[in-house]
Chain A
Amino acid sequence: MATESKLLTIDEEMKEERAPELRRVHTTCYMCACRCGIEVTLEGDRVRFLSGIPENPVNKGVWCAKGGAGIMTEYSPARLSQPLMREPGAPRGEGRLVPVDWETALNTVTEWLRDIRRTDPRRLAYFTGRDQMQAFNGYWARQFGTPNWAAHGGFCSVNMAAGGMYSIGGSFWEFGWPDLERAQWFMMFGVAEDHPSNPLKLAISGLKERGGRFIVVNPVKSGYGALADEWVPIRPGTDGALILAFMHVLIREGLIDRDFLRRWTNAPALVIRAPGTPRDGLLWRSEGGDMMVALKDGRLVPFMDARGEGVLEGEYVHGDLRLVPAFQLLWQEVQKATPAWAEGVTGVSKRTIVRLAMEMGTVAQRHPIVLPIEWVDAYGVHHDETIGRPVAFHAMRGLAAHTNGFQTIRGLFDLMMLLGTIDVPGGFLYKSPYPKPVPPPVKPAPNPEDYQPNQPAKAPLLGYPTSPDDLLVDGDAPIRIDEAYSWKYPLAAHGTIQNVIANAATEKPYAIDTLMIYMANIAWNSTWNTLTTRDLLTARDETTGEYKIPHVVVFDTFDSETVAYADIVFPDTTYLERWDATSLQDRPISEPDGPADSIRQPAVPRFADTRPTADVLIELANRLELPGFVENGKPRYRNYADFIQLWETEPGSGVGLLAGFRGKHGDQMLVGEPNPRQLEAYAAHKAFWQYRLPDNIRYYRMANQGYLDWAHSVKFIDQPAMIVLHLYSEPLQTFRLAGQGLWPGKKPQDARLQDRLARYFSPVPIWYPPLEDQNEDPSAYPLRIITQRPMTHYHSWGSHNAWLRQLLNENPLFMNPKKARELGLHDGQWVWIESRIGRMTGRLRFSDAVEPDTVWTWNAVAKGPGSWALDPESPEVTRAILINHIIPDRLAGRDGDEFFNNDPVTGQAGWYDTRVKVYPSDIHEVWPRVKPRQPVARPRPVRHLAYRAKGEAR
């Protein structure tokens, strides 16, 4: 039980005198998910300087404000120092936690988990935030046997990932990247800051250096947008309409790359037109399963046999089948999307839409890049040169965080296909190990019996369903606690973390026993309708008086708002204190020119009694004797460092977490026996490994036979076969058929579920108003509220950093002065911001850099009183606003009982869809305020801080 051990404070650590000698240790940053290579200069054991590693492929020597401020994260007073347990009898949420020793904490959790695993492994839900060991976490959960694991992609950007995977077998982010070294014309949608942040800055800098044209589509002009040669202020949630209109103009102006479409995409594939039958909208395939295309002479042949000569338009009859090329179906959809229509939807003038479409089309088709690089395509055709289209795009949550985001992003990838700018110089480039087949061939096990007591799950827990038969449903009922892969959110490729607490607390679809949370601040800024969610975490069964979620286990480095809701807290280390890997099995640091990965290594001594979370999970796995972790009663891994070096995807596969320095002697890459001294080799190579692809296999990789053969040899892909891009998505059509009741396999019975599938699973990109707009009278809440991510805090909200918090510690509500005058509001005024679920106060700040129908503020600046070792009167508590309070977590009206405010395709939270009205407030302070909790890490009344690595100066 609770021991009397005293809470260690960071002061005592700092006081220790150590010999001041300069040392340099190389590792990987973790102040955000960008994962730059950093050099830690140490004076004794104290951090003197954090800087970029020039040779590192990610940041090439530069580093950002967060990276440099890592020093203050390391020495943050908000750090947890030892395991904690909720005080006996104390209610959850008040932060009344007492220190316990590791053995007590580990034993307690082991007993809970052992019981769960023995009875019903589904009763463990393990969800993580922006962690960078998803390969390990997914493996751990799978070996445990629960289906209920995911990271935070559900509220982050699963639309972007899934939209890309179901279109081109890659996406933006860690999956691919605009080639701004060669692009002449670059359009960026909805990005304020992103986590390949330093690479994006380097890339934009290169574009500007060469005088390239930069277009920013965003309701707000800030950050990168400040450099835009043209700012396209768009109404939130309408980008899909803009993209369809671009396609409309491009096709009509003849500015599309027909060869590209014919050769590398399924644009010429013949689609069966047979409404009301189970084959409607599916591709017509040969008996061997090849999709068929029509040639100019009217012959119908398999796609590969057409060698890029398939026609894109027309109508064909074969027997009793009516067949149409997929491209024609796309054209039918975008034909409706005239620039005039799009102007009404987006607020962007018709003139601008036509001009921008002509710009991108002209630059792509009339000014191609020709590189003297020979290559051989999958048809066996030898190309003397490599043709590039210098038009590039980048997009992120401005497209993704809407309930129409998936289809919008599908639209963006189709637009890129029309322009012929996928994996070509100057366009979009894949990052290894992508491209993968569309979608990548990984699927979770779909049946209830795949998750049995004391058994590992039958398949990886997350993946890409290709038909309704792959869904994790039992009839209409979801198998997962978060309802991912259910009829509600069928393509929830990253899970839907935002549904977990509400579902667990209401026991829908079932009750759970233990909720494990790692690095996700689910009781504050990583949740919507925050106050209700906090209530749900403390909801009790009316009859027994027990918590609806009986056990909450939190892994965290800092005293976050969520820590207050934990029953057990495991104190994590910082990134400077542990071994870690960024893996090709996870989200690698690869750049377009080849695969790369990196490690973290301990640079400073561990603080107090903390342990790396991965080590704790391995300890738990060993105690639970999880298969894969324990063999013949013997643990395979003592800690995560062991796991990084020794684990393989399959026994003997030769593929593990790290791709470099494999084999007994460390001389193999990508595939090779585990190397027990691999981390040492990485440490000696500035903490990263990189392989540069030869030029002839660097482009057109979806169809570059040389690349496909190589990728197959290193096990990136199962077959060295061409990866045909999906202009038309047949998998989506199968779900539509299920909605129409026509699919022969699994299909839903509930009419609302059927309707959603039929309506939103269009095989060609469509635009529809965000669900919030459909549910309510838009005039009641005329403004859209969004957040922008500050470059100085993106992903670093949770460290309570003495330097970063000076850069931004309160956030006004930015409003266009034109709109404010219409509403009779003035600069600096306190206002109510009211959405359909509640209202809050904020202080207005005029800005001409926001379009009039949008108001915005910075994301996640506010903090709860008592958390983060902050003084309760800190500006983050008393003057900063958190709009999560008024972002609806559920749909409006009757639908709200069943459906979360998520994209109906992927389950991505639609947190950019919130509508509000703004009017004067009589309260001149932040409201609502939550009750202060008891801090674990107590606020220190430091009056004056003069940090020196070498103790005090002068």
Chain B
Amino acid sequence: MRPAPQLLVLTVGQGIAGGLAVSLAALWSMGVLSHADAVWLVLLALLTAAMGGVASFFHMHHMAAARYILRRLKTSWLSREALTTGLFGGALAVAAAWSLFGHTAGWPYLWWLWLTAAAGLLAMWVTAMLYATIPAVLSWHTPVTVISLLSLGLLSGASWVGLVLPLGDHRYRVFAVAVMVFTVFVLGIKALHWRHFAEAHGRLRAETGTGLPFAPYRLQDTGTTKPPYRMQPQVWPAIPVRVRNLFYGLIVLFVGAGSLGCLLLARLTGVELFSVILPGMVSVGVVLERWLFFADATHSSRVFFVDEPRQPSRLKLSPRARVPAK
């Protein structure tokens, strides 16, 4: 799939905003947050959500029809995404206004923060469902996609808290430990997800795609000399194994080592800088992860554009000598 920058910004931005909203509500509930910190966090969430919103707006190519976008709430996850993302944005805006100008003591504010966090989670879930419910995108068609997008969003949002709070400080110990545990969880989910991607790549089958069951299978012509990558962004040239492995490494480095390392170092050294580096590391990792999420996704129509991938036998092969002689 051709990675569209707008979708990259939308999903990453929405994730950070959602993660921030959840973190904000949690930290506020824990009572470890000052009013000023809360204002900063809610503004950060609003900013990242707005980035995502603006990006998604530019993903539309035919603006004149944008007014019809809520027409298919019954069937279209994109209609729902427009609605839920809008609601989340609205909730955030209210929260921001409330934080800046309103009375923040007492349960109504706390409740609103949790409501906003729920709206964020809902928006993230709907967005994730949009991807996970397309059978033709073989790589995404799994519940792991939902968990992956949600958890990465939460982690990246939580990491952005580091911009406001010195997470090495013992006041935020519970939060920091939670983030570290969650990081390990996210890495596990990503591993599962990537395994699914690899399997999806191998699930392209000439026999059902074309009716030709014999190997080797070669595509000599896609109808035009070139594969229709320009006209059909749902397919994209295969990512070389080395590039993919490089991405895996970088993502684990930035998200995993970045998150755990920064939090540990912040705690051990007490240097606030690590807390600020943390969101940078995680965000870079998430952007890389999202790029790979799009670029490496296998669409079923790929079977019409490329040779079938070679699948070595999964059996343990016996050496020739084991064949009994006549």
Contact = CB atoms under 8 A, between A and B. Distances in A.
In the complex they form, do A and B come into direct contact, defined as C-beta atoms under 8 angstroms apart? Answer: yes
Contacts of B216: 817, 848
B224 A847 contact: no
B218 A807 contact: no
B225 interface: yes
A3 interface: no
Contacts of B224: 806-807
A847 B225 CA distance: 16
B225 A846 contact: no
B225 A809 contact: yes
B225 A806 contact: yes
- Looking at chain B, what size class is its interface with the partner chain? under 10
Contacts of A810: 225
A779 to B, nearest CB: 29
Nearest to A222: B220
Contact of B220 (A817, A847, A875): A847
Interface string A813-853: 00001000000000000000000000000000111100000
Contacts of A806: 224-225
Contacts, number: 16
B232 to A, nearest CB: 14
Contacts of B225: 806-810, 875
Contact of B218 (A808, A809, A846, A875): A846
A44 B266 CA distance: 77
B21 to A, nearest CB: 42
Contacts of B223: 807
Interface in A90-121: none
A465 B220 CA distance: 46
A520 B322 CA distance: 65
Contacts of A808: 225
A846 B307 CA distance: 11
A806 B221 CA distance: 11
A808 B222 CA distance: 10
Interface in B175-225: 216, 218, 220, 223-225
Contacts of A848: 216, 218
A807 B225 CA distance: 6
B210 to A, nearest CB: 13
Nearest to A811: B225
A241 B225 CA distance: 37
The A interface, classified by DSSP as helix, strand, loop or mixed, is: mixed
A283 to B, nearest CB: 52
Interface in B214-243: 216, 218, 220, 223-225
Interface in A768-811: 806-810
A808 B224 CA distance: 6
A847 B220 CA distance: 9
Contacts of A809: 225
A875 B216 CA distance: 28
B114 to A, nearest CB: 49
Nearest to B223: A807
A843 to B, nearest CB: 13
A193 to B, nearest CB: 15
Interface in A271-289: none
Contacts of B220: 845, 847
Contacts of A846: 218
Nearest to B225: A809
Nearest to A807: B224
B11 to A, nearest CB: 31
A848 B225 CA distance: 20
A807 B224 CA distance: 4
B108 to A, nearest CB: 52
A819 to B, nearest CB: 15
A897 to B, nearest CB: 42
Interface string A860-888: 00000000000000010000000000000
A810 to B, nearest CB: 6
A845 B223 CA distance: 17
A137 B274 CA distance: 88
B226 to A, nearest CB: 8
B231 to A, nearest CB: 11
Nearest to A879: B225
B251 to A, nearest CB: 30
A307 to B, nearest CB: 57
B307 to A, nearest CB: 9
A810 B220 CA distance: 12
A848 B224 CA distance: 21
A875 B226 CA distance: 11
A846 B220 CA distance: 9
A846 B215 CA distance: 13
Nearest to A849: B220
B305 to A, nearest CB: 15
Contacts of A875: 225
A838 B225 CA distance: 28
A808 B220 CA distance: 11
Interface string A111-146: 000000000000000000000000000000000000
Contacts of A817: 216
Contacts of B218: 846-848
A806 B216 CA distance: 27
A821 to B, nearest CB: 13
A845 B218 CA distance: 10
A242 B216 CA distance: 30
Nearest to A875: B225
A507 B95 CA distance: 95
Nearest to A806: B224
B65 to A, nearest CB: 13
A648 B218 CA distance: 56
A388 to B, nearest CB: 36
Interface string A891-917: 000000000000000000000000000
Contacts of A845: 220
B310 to A, nearest CB: 12
Interface string B91-123: 000000000000000000000000000000000
Nearest to B214: A848
A674 to B, nearest CB: 49
Nearest to B216: A848
A787 B224 CA distance: 19
Nearest to A790: B221
A848 B307 CA distance: 13
A808 B223 CA distance: 9
B66 to A, nearest CB: 18
A686 to B, nearest CB: 32
A816 to B, nearest CB: 12
A696 B216 CA distance: 53
Interface in B24-61: none
Which of B218, B224, B225 has most chain A Cβ within 10 Å? Answer: B225
Interface string B124-136: 0000000000000
Interface in B233-260: none
Nearest to A809: B225
Nearest to B224: A806
A809 B221 CA distance: 12
A145 B266 CA distance: 101
A810 B218 CA distance: 18
B308 to A, nearest CB: 13
B304 to A, nearest CB: 16
A806 B230 CA distance: 13
B243 to A, nearest CB: 18
Nearest to A808: B225
B311 to A, nearest CB: 17
Given A806-B224, A845-B220, A847-B218, 13 more contacts: A806-B225, A807-B223, A807-B224, A807-B225, A808-B225, A809-B225, A810-B225, A817-B216, A846-B218, A847-B220, A848-B216, A848-B218, A875-B225
16 contacts: A806-B224, A806-B225, A807-B223, A807-B224, A807-B225, A808-B225, A809-B225, A810-B225, A817-B216, A845-B220, A846-B218, A847-B218, A847-B220, A848-B216, A848-B218, A875-B225
Going nearest first, the 7 A-B pairs with the smallest beta carbon separation are A806-B224, A809-B225, A808-B225, A810-B225, A807-B224, A846-B218, A875-B225
Interface of B: 216, 218, 220, 223-225
